[in-house]
Structure 1
Amino acid sequence: MTDCSVFFISDGTGITAETFGNSIMAQFAVKPRHVRRPFIDTADKAFQVVREINAVADREGKRPIVFMTLVDEDILNIIRPCRGKVFDMIKTFVEPLEEEFAMKSNHRVGRFSDVAVDREYNDRIEAINFTLEHDDGQSARNLEVADVVLVGVSRSGKTPTSLYLAMQHGVKAANVPLIPEDFDRGFLPPMLKPFKKKCFGLTIDPARLSQIRNERRPNSKYASIENCRFEVQQAESMMRREGISWLSSTHKSIEEIATTILRDIRPDRLIY
């Protein structure tokens, strides 16, 4: 089954519906077509989505899967009779919790309240700005306030992991590449010495690294398998000597890498 469609419908961004829905769909050997429909907050938009779902059902000859996070009952009543298999996350999770807590939820549209006064939101924006400023060793300024400093060879996954940590967890994550000059000297870049306890290393399978680098600089020494083997071996040896924890990004998702980093460097960020 490789041609099903999955709709993620929300009156907000749709990120919650998509994240949860993807976690569920990952349990099955399917390759769905993803359709996110955010900000469905009027009857007209709801009817338009229903027409789209029904058209897909006709075209594919099977019911699309529909994950919804909608709080407006009128809009829900428009979408529920569609020809998709509907999973209403509010009804599935929020209503049983209302019963458990003996209180009504606020039925707030979207994940965030007023971002202008939301401290958590502002912390994440500040972390994103910090992470962008300290990407790829661009700046050593204010490294003392970093929550974590990722180190590893070029293209081992430091930048996407840093941005994920900042965007999802409000973690100020700098990242610094380990380059041939560092291997010649035999020690970490001088800018990192005072912050070694904040460092976490990423490594990667040399063959995978060569493949990634060839997409960027085809047929270069930088991308050659021999050079990739050398850099990975040198980086792992250096991190081992310096006592820096590290993991391979080869077969791990950004989410898995980030969770491991939080567990080892900032376990307090796993509780909030």
Structure 2
Amino acid sequence: MQYVFYVSDGTAITAEVFGHAVLSQFPIPFEQVTIPFVGSLDKARQVRLRIDECAVQSGVRPLLFHTIVDPAVREQVLQANAHAHDFLNTFVTPLEQQLGIKAEARSHRTHGMENTALYDERIEAVNFALSNDDGTSTREYDEADIILIGVSRCGKTPTSLYLALQFGIRAANYPFIAQDMHDLTLPLPLKANRHKLFGLTIAPDRLCDIRNQRRANSQYAALAQCELELGRVERLFRQEAIPFLDTTSHSVEEISAKILERTGLRRQLR
């Protein structure tokens, strides 16, 4: 088994993101271990021993992706029997030369509370998404940056929350349900904010699978019902010239990126 360690004196999110991106190119299984907040020599020694133990047990040197600012802590971890990859210094050293500025090494800068105003903005965006989820309230639609619409279980809620948490975008979402299908039109709150609307759709068989996980063998999850709802909602999107996206084969990260690309919404976080 090929072990992979993500080690950081912060959250380890940066090491994980970089590492996952690189390893996704290799079609083999990995046993992945994340160890955040390695900020002392004692913790660094514990990490080194754990990596060495895995090397002995597996017979294969682990991969080590790290983002550690403190040189002493970093050197202690690097004594481990592993193939090490330093994401920070790989880019920092050449950037210092290109910018003519010496980097100021400090932990917890990327995912910490360095800018409280931006952090508060992101939390407010998350609260907005929660308060305006699934059409529970339409009173704040004037404050929304975007309103996602579509049938139930097509990805509106997770996308709204991801846009809020990752980019500070105030995203509301509104579902079209079975009772709407007889005479499907845009309700007044959506008409009043028509320029903010973005539709999500999905393949009927995929929607059927998702709904069956929620309400197995129900009319709500029946393939015929999924086909009917999706057909009528997509027709509404076309009639009203509402941009929409098929989410069937896309992750929430990909859906969000495609929405930002097509709408031109500004990413609020810096």
SS in 1 for 2:6: strand
CA drift of 1:142 comes to 1.5
SS in 1 for 2:267: helix
SS in 2 for 1:144: helix
> Deviations for 1:200-240, whole angstroms, at most 9, x for unmatched residues?
11111111111111111111111111111111111111111
> Deviations for 1:97-121, whole angstroms, at most 9, x for unmatched residues?
1121111112121214545x52221
SS in 2 for 1:268: coil
CA drift of 1:129 comes to 0.7
CA drift of 1:270 comes to 8.4
SS in 1 for 2:242: coil
- CA contact under 8 A between 2:66 and 2:84: conserved in structure 1? yes
- CA contact under 8 A between 1:11 and 1:70: conserved in structure 2? yes
- In structure 2, the partner of 1:49 is 47
RMSD after superposition? 1.6
- In structure 1, the partner of 2:189 is 191
Counterpart residue type for residue 5 of structure 1: Y
Identical-residue share of aligned pairs (%): 43
- In structure 1, the partner of 2:128 is 130
- CA contact under 8 A between 1:263 and 1:270: conserved in structure 2? no
Partners of 1:141 and 1:105 in 2: CA distance: 47
Give matches, 1:1-272, under 5 Å.
3-110=1-108, 111-112=110-111, 114-115=113-114, 117-269=115-267
TM-score by length of 2: 0.95
How many residues matched? 269
Partners of 1:246 and 1:252 in 2: CA distance: 14
Structure 1 segments, 4+ long, off by >3 Å, are 112-115
Gap runs ≥5 in structure 1: none
> Deviations for 1:53-77, whole angstroms, at most 9, x for unmatched residues?
1111122221221111110000000
Partners of 2:91 and 2:3 in 1: CA distance: 23
TM-score by length of 1: 0.94
- When residues 270 and 146 of structure 1 are mapped into structure 2, their CA distance, relative to the original with a 3 A threshold, is closer
Gap runs ≥5 in structure 2: none
> Deviations for 1:27-77, whole angstroms, at most 9, x for unmatched residues?
111232221111110111111111111111122221221111110000000
